[in-house]
């Protein structure tokens, strides 16, 4: 949990330092944004390498290596005198964060009895969600007091703590309790195809957002990479090799539905995280401090909800909890139409809290519902795939929300460049929230199919 908090903190805290960094290096907005985008691309792609790394080097070596890389990235970024060094540091941090994030779900399913897994997921989730909730606030204070370099150094003490804990508690073995095997080879071609496809998808959506013709070309290349990746992974499996992503995972209905839910959940979560502050500042004309006041209580409620729902997950079916969470999240988006310029802050706080309660129902239950039904030797690959789907959905969600919002604002005859807000602008924002509500409703149909079949659930037996 400490290591994952460090990796999540490094991903969110840097956003508050981008203006200071842009001024220091004399950067335009597009170049400065790569500080965040480079991290996200590296993190998303490296998630797929976690199963191979764990089987080859074991839990402890992989985890300790990731913490050392994350710490090195933080130190390198803090001392950087050139912008390209900052980018290199962010990519290093992203690679470490991507490999780290699937590991906790693998360990929870193997180290805890089935009736303890929900509580363990809840406690883990409660700690992890505090990182993005508190990160920007702490980062803002550090930037004001010590400058932008301080946000890179902040991750170092957390990495030192996680290294110490890893050598105390994390086992040497590979997944399955066996010794690490040095014979397997990484599916480099699959990794390159997946990396190029992810990069083209994310950049294509940005270009589409900016209205450039290159967007359609990049999205076309991304689609081609998806087809090529599937064909290549099937070929590797047919030839007796170890594919980067075993497509046999999707033969499990629960896992396939969980992947769909994870993608849409990521889209709604990251999309709303982008949309809500923009709505409050440009639609309702609130100050940045008001936005923080509204969102901070919701973040704290989310942490408490996850801990409570974690206990419920030990006694109730995951598909019920995930569907309930999606329904609450959809309701929080759909009810945004009740907000207008004269709305009390308390209504906004209540809607934000309602949405975060929904997220609290989803987070501890989704991994359990998706991974319990697959074979034990596929848990590592399954966890990586679920996390990959969630992050890919999140990266897509920010761009999709931006594109949809600008389309609806233009359709209503307004523009975000205009200082004053209007009823038409609020209507465009409401339609964007309704789009997220519809996506959550679609995810509910997949979530209900997470329910386990009557036959065996091989991941239920503890090691």
Residue 252 has pLDDT above 50, yes or no: yes
* Mean predicted lDDT score pLDDT of the chain: 81
Please give the radius of gyration of the chain, using alpha carbons only, rounded to the nearest integer: 22
**Positions of E strands within 251-338:** none
Residue 458 has pLDDT above 50, yes or no: no
* Interior angle at CA 49, CA 46 and CA 54, nearest 5: 130
Which residue, chain included where needed, has tokens 């990182």?
131
Residue 128 has pLDDT above 90, yes or no: no
Backbone angles phi, psi at 320, to 5 degrees: -70, -45
CATH 3.40.190.10 fits 249-453, yes or no: no
**Contact residues for 126 (Cβ-Cβ < 8 A; gap 6+):** 303, 304, 306, 307, 310
CATH number of 1-172: 1.20.1250.20
pLDDT digits (tens, 9 = 90+) for 201-226: 878 877 776 666 777 888 899 999 99
Q: Which two tokens stand for residue 321?
A: 């909890």
CA distance 207 to 203: 6
Residue 16 has pLDDT above 70, yes or no: no
Closest among 291, 7, 230 to 131, alpha carbons compared = 7
Residue 227 has pLDDT above 70, yes or no: yes
Residue 349 has pLDDT above 90, yes or no: no
For residues 5-13, average pLDDT: 77
Q: What is the pTM of this model?
A: 0.79
pLDDT digits (tens, 9 = 90+) for 282-334: 788 776 556 666 777 877 888 788 888 877 877 888 888 899 999 999 999 99
pLDDT on residue 243: 84
pLDDT on residue 176: 64
pLDDT on residue 178: 60
Closest among 192, 135, 189, 171 to 6, alpha carbons compared = 135
Q: Which two tokens stand for residue 169?
A: 């508690």
Q: Which two tokens stand for residue 288?
A: 């940045």
* Interior angle at CA 292, CA 104 and CA 15, nearest 5: 60
CA distance 9 to 18: 15
């Amino acid at each position: 949990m400490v290591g994952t908090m460090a990796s999540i903190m490094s991903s969110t805290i840097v956003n508050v330092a981008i203006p200071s960094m842009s001024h220091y290096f004399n950067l335009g907005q597009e170049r400065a944004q790569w500080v965040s985008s480079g991290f996200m691309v590296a993190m998303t792609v490296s998630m797929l390498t976690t199963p191979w790394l764990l089987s080859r080097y074991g839990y402890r070596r992989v985890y300790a290596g990731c913490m050392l890389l994350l710490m090195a990235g933080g130190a390198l970024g803090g001392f950087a005198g050139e912008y390209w060094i900052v980018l290199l540091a962010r990519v290093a941090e992203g690679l470490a964060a991507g490999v780290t994030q699937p590991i906790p779900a693998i360990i929870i399913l193997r180290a805890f009895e089935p009736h303890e897994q929900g509580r363990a997921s809840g406690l883990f989730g409660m700690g992890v969600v505090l990182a993005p909730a508190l990160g920007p606030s702490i980062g803002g204070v550090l930037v004001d007091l010590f400058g932008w370099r301080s946000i890179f150094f902040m991750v170092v003490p957390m990495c030192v703590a996680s290294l110490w804990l890893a050598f105390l508690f994390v086992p040497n073995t590979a997944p399955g309790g066996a010794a690490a095997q040095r014979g397997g080879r990484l599916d480099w071609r699959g990794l390159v195809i997946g990396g190029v496809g992810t990069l083209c998808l994310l950049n294509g959506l940005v270009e589409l957002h900016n209205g450039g013709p290159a967007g359609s070309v990049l999205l076309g290349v991304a689609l081609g990479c998806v087809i090529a990746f599937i064909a290549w992974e099937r070929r590797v499996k047919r030839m007796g090799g170890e594919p980067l992503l075993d497509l046999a995972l999707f033969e499990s209905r629960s896992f396939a539905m969980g992947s769909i839910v994870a993608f849409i959940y990521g889209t709604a979560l990251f999309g709303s995280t982008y949309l809500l502050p923009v709505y409050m500042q440009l639609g309702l004309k609130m100050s940045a401090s008001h936005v923080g006041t509204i969102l901070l209580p919701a973040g704290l409620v989310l942490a408490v909800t996850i801990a409570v729902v974690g206990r419920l997950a030990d006694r109730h079916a995951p598909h019920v909890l995930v569907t309930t969470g999606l329904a609450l999240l959809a309701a929080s988006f759909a009810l945004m139409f009740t907000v207008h310029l004269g709305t009390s802050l308390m209504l906004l706080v209540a809607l934000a809290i309602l949405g975060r309660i929904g997220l609290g129902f989803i987070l501890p239950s989704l991994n359990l519902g998706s991974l319990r039904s697959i074979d034990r030797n596929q848990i590592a690959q399954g966890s990586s795939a679920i996390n990959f789907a969630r992050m890919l959905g999140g990266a897509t969600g920010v761009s999709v929300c931006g594109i949809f919002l600008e389309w609806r604002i233009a359709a209503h005859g307004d523009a975000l460049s205009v200082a004053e807000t209007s009823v038409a602008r609020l209507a465009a924002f409401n339609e964007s929230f309704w789009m997220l509500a519809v996506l959550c409703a679609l995810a509910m149909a997949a979530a209900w199919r997470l329910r386990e079949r009557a036959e065996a659930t091989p991941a239920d037996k503890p090691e």
